[in-house]
Amino acid sequence: MRTGDIAPDFRLPDHEGNIRSLGDMVADGPVVLFFYPAASSPVCTAQACHFRDLGASFAALGAQRVGISTDTADRQSHFAMQRAFDYPLLSDSDATVAEQFGVRRGNWMTRFRRRRDLERRRSHAAKRGIVRRLLSVKRTTFVIDRHRVVRLKVTSERAHVHANRALDFLRYLA
């Protein structure tokens, strides 16, 4: 997915069990959709909390924040309650939406099985690429307008970059 592409519509459960669709969300204004690899991990927590802390700034610009990961809805619910998030966290447990947006790191289960088989053979090759095996999606943020057009794409492993760049871009548009 690149800037200028039409974002695919999807329907996913949020951390409260409600089904959310991108089409419904963009009807209320721009959506800042951020993918993160794992709920409650240190960098993902910092990223999600930064989006939470800048909530008033996003609201002033009419933008909605939406987090999405391959964690289960239960794990998302625990993460949301633990950190008092005021925006939806969506569960893409089968990584279908991550695949559509081009942020999936590959078939991590196949890599896990390959690693397990290599470990059984006591090969040192199994220790390579641990980040790719453990993290199912690339940390990526998309600013999507009312017509589902991707206006900005941010890719960085630094937690605070995503919310700051999205906010700067929305301010520029205003």
Which pTM was predicted?
0.83
Question: Which domains are assigned to the chain?
Answer: 11-103+138-173 (3.40.30.10), 105-135 (no CATH)
Reduce the DSSP state of residue 34 to 3 states and report it.
strand
Which residues does residue 32 pair with via DSSP β-bridges, in sequence order?
65, 143
| Portion of the chain with pLDDT greater than 70, in percent | 83
Is residue 49 annotated as part of the catalytic site, yes or no?
Answer: no
State the residue for tokens 């939806």: 88
Among 22, 32, 38, 44, the active-site one is 44
Q: Could you read off the pLDDT of 42-88 as tens digits, one per residue?
A: 999 999 999 999 999 999 999 999 999 999 999 999 999 999 999 99
Question: For residues 18 and 13, what is the distance between their CA atoms, to the nearest angstrom?
Answer: 5
Reduce the DSSP state of residue 117 to 3 states and report it.
helix
Mean pLDDT taken over the chain? 87
Question: For residues 56 and 112, what is the distance between their CA atoms, to the nearest angstrom?
Answer: 41
Question: For residues 87 and 52, what is the distance between their CA atoms, to the nearest angstrom?
Answer: 8
